[in-house]
Chains A and B, each alone.
Chain A
């Protein structure tokens, strides 16, 4: 394993000027940004705690240009970080000092809608929600709906294998795409997957999905579309105890019901979002559950009755069923805007997305509350309860010295807790830069070596988003990770400090 390439011998500024000049021969002059002033807004994605100025930013609008840029960078050993809308929460699009940011935001057209086969071919910069909007007149939609769906792009969704409120029932991005066109590190255009559900050879589509920009640059996506459910209704239940709410989630699934979405918000999240959406959330509740049931009307009615019974057995304090579509949308709008709405109660937040077995929800949430007290930092919980995908938001103030460092320590503790109960460090946001050290905890060195072998099969020079998602063994050694494997800490009898 080599270290990332492109160790320039000349000063960074002259490299910057040269690379920018060269790239201006490939794309329009105004589509190459190289002055520091213009580069600054690209120094981070949705995780603004981590920042790095890129060498240059290039904004192509044709696939051939992407290929040219890739070829140029390959020849000159310049790393490439692909970027969509920059809404990612794990620093996946965090620039590299000596690397190019390749923005795919200009690729924002829906190329083809095939109602008969229920597919759409879209460019990578198309917003997630824009796909559903474009096919709404056919009563179709694209199922994965990350909370940032208004802004995040499908290319980024594929790179992170994004989930969303409805992935409990309808799957993640990987279950909802058929085919990708990617540009390889050396500039070839390759089609992966096919218009059919299966294609011969290895299932490379699954390897590419969630590969966080390490294996190729996504330039076209064929997505599956689903018919809009005939009927969808949402139940909102309040609980006076967070553990009770957590247990209710497990009870619903155990009763054999697969809700379209099953989400939980704790009191702090309820208050912050209610302030913005005025959805009628119960601001006194310790937690609320939003449970959506969809399908044909009879089926939905039956499910609602069953869920009501389970909720009653689980000890809810209040329950409300959305009376109409507008109210259903309103109930969800608060949940979808919950993260940024937290901006109303804290200048900064740090979001992690550890995922745990449903049965552990209650105990882990209580443990998080304890850790929150221990570190003196508020934690807001708003998450995909149905699939155990937590999203603890740690609130901090970037202007207070040491606050971010403390936040990172707390985040690491929470992720470690997730692994200890048999879970993982990420459910849908990706590892990026944010959770790279926790990868050392989740996987042992043999496993990581295999991951690197996959990377090298696609990108031997390690130019595509290097040093993200999969840590080098060297990094893990420095991190001094405790290796927890399959929930088992090695040598648990040894006391750790």
Chain B
């Protein structure tokens, strides 16, 4: 596509990157077909091609107004469009740049700013979100239905195995997952233990994705550097991999190298961490799973998170693992579409989010499963608020024997 970037960005590194992304787009519109918001709203402005156009306009010097911001905000960043795009347009990256420029130029209302700040102040911190959730869970019985739905019931975690193995891997704790579903990582540790791998946990924190997607880039980098510092001694000691049990965080970890590429003190370390990062499905698919004997009597509907299939491009892996272990998987139509969770999207865009959730639950339920399995904590808590069957991380099914 023809471009003519404005002076304010033309000669910056970001400008050059945005220009090359824009020029790779040939405006074919294939992306609109798999975009959840375009399918719902039918407006060019709510599809990737329209958003690219909106961003192009701003980068070419037209001052944006509220409309551009609204339509960029409505993007789930599911990156389904990237999977569909034959021209290789890196939409997620362009959107990051576009959102940043637009926010700088348009700003936000006081209420909007406050809400975003609140999310950023609570969610990424285990010692803040955890107690708040506990508090909510204590009073869950007395809550009005709306709030009750939003507060997941307390989940117990199985004890972390204490066996020593020669092979060691490190797992990301992250922020909200230990509070909402502490069982996921302990189940992962139990599965890996059976495979002869010790899973190490550290005092890490939020991966930084939450801040990054709320356009607080410096804050995101702080979280990233903190995790790099926390993990580095273990990496020097030779851990085999950094395991992510939330695909949303996994995408972020694999981006560490890119995001810190211009920080001389961290670039190499961050790149190493990205190279070592594996989604738990990537670990299991290379191991001998005969050692695992899960209880496979449940019919499973697998919800493939966008971060897993479009971000990490690991489509079909979990399904293959579950099938090879003996689980029966039901067919899920429109598996490429987002469930509407998308990080803080469900809070910031509740109408679109709940419609997508409804559609997703219908699709997941169409094969009458006993359980819904997913691979990301955001999708898990989002779907379980209204699902009629239990929603679990798939590794918990594998751990259950």
Contacts and interface: CB of A to CB of B under 8 A. Distances in A.
Nearest to A59: B43
Contacts of A35: 65, 67
A146 to B, nearest CB: 12
A148 B54 CA distance: 23
A417 to B, nearest CB: 25
A348 B29 contact: no
A343 interface: yes
Interface string B1-44: 11110000000000000000001111111111110001101111
B64 interface: yes
Interface stretch (A41-49, A159-167, A175-183, A224-232): A41-49
Interface stretch (B85-93, B110-118, B222-230, B348-356): B85-93
B53 interface: yes
Interface stretch (A242-250, A256-264, A333-341): A333-341
A40 interface: yes
Contact of B29 (A46, A129, A337): A46
Given A35-B65, A342-B26, A86 B44 contact: yes
A298 interface: no
Contacts of A106: 41-42
Interface string A367-401: 00000000000000000000000000000001100
Given A48-B27, A85-B32, A344-B24, A105 B1 contact: no
Interface in A119-153: 125, 127, 129, 148, 150-152
Looking at A37, A45, A273, which has the most chain B CB atoms within 10 Å of its CB?
A: A37
Contacts of B30: 87, 148, 150-151, 337, 340
A108 interface: yes
Contacts of B26: 48, 339-340, 342-343, 348-349
A59 B29 contact: no
Contacts of B44: 41-42, 86, 103, 105
B88 A37 contact: no
Contact of A86 (B25, B29, B88): B29
Given A276-B86, A348-B2, A37 B29 contact: no
B357 interface: no
B87 A148 contact: no
A144 B37 CA distance: 27
B310 interface: no
A399 B31 CA distance: 24
A340 B44 CA distance: 18
Given A59-B43, A150-B84, A348-B1, A46 B65 contact: no
B163 to A, nearest CB: 41
Given A48-B1, A86-B44, A348-B2, A148 B29 contact: yes
Contacts, number: 120
B166 to A, nearest CB: 37
A317 to B, nearest CB: 27
Nearest to B87: A343
B230 to A, nearest CB: 38
A297 interface: no
**Range class of the A interface residue count:** 35 or more
Given A343-B24, A344-B24, A151 B86 contact: no
A167 to B, nearest CB: 20
Nearest to A129: B33
Contacts of A37: 54, 57, 62, 64-65, 67-68
Interface string A57-85: 00101000000000000000000000001
A483 B215 CA distance: 60
B23 A347 contact: yes
A341 B57 contact: no
A38 interface: yes
Interface string B260-295: 000000000000000000000000000000000000
Contacts of A348: 1-2, 26
A448 to B, nearest CB: 31
Contacts of B2: 48-49, 347-348, 398-399
Contacts of A343: 24-26, 28, 86-89
B50 interface: yes
A87 to B, nearest CB: 4
A148 B28 contact: yes
A419 B359 CA distance: 50
B399 to A, nearest CB: 32
Interface in B30-80: 30-34, 38-39, 41-45, 49-50, 53-54, 57, 62, 64-65, 67-68
Interface of A: 33, 35, 37-38, 40-42, 44-46, 48-49, 59, 61, 85-87, 103, 105-106, 108, 125, 127, 129, 148, 150-152, 273, 276, 337-344, 347-349, 398-399
29 contacts: A37-B54, A37-B64, A40-B57, A41-B44, A41-B50, A44-B27, A46-B29, A48-B1, A59-B43, A86-B44, A86-B49, A105-B38, A106-B42, A151-B29, A151-B33, A338-B86, A339-B86, A340-B87, A341-B87, A343-B25, A343-B88, A344-B24, A344-B88, A347-B2, A348-B26, A398-B1, A398-B3, A399-B3, A399-B23
The 9 A-B residue pairs with the shortest CB-CB distance in the complex, in nearest-first order: A398-B2, A343-B87, A337-B86, A41-B53, A105-B42, A106-B42, A340-B86, A151-B33, A343-B26
Given A86-B29, A343-B87, 17 more contacts: A33-B43, A37-B62, A37-B64, A40-B54, A40-B62, A41-B53, A42-B44, A87-B29, A148-B29, A273-B86, A276-B86, A339-B26, A343-B25, A343-B26, A344-B88, A347-B1, A347-B24
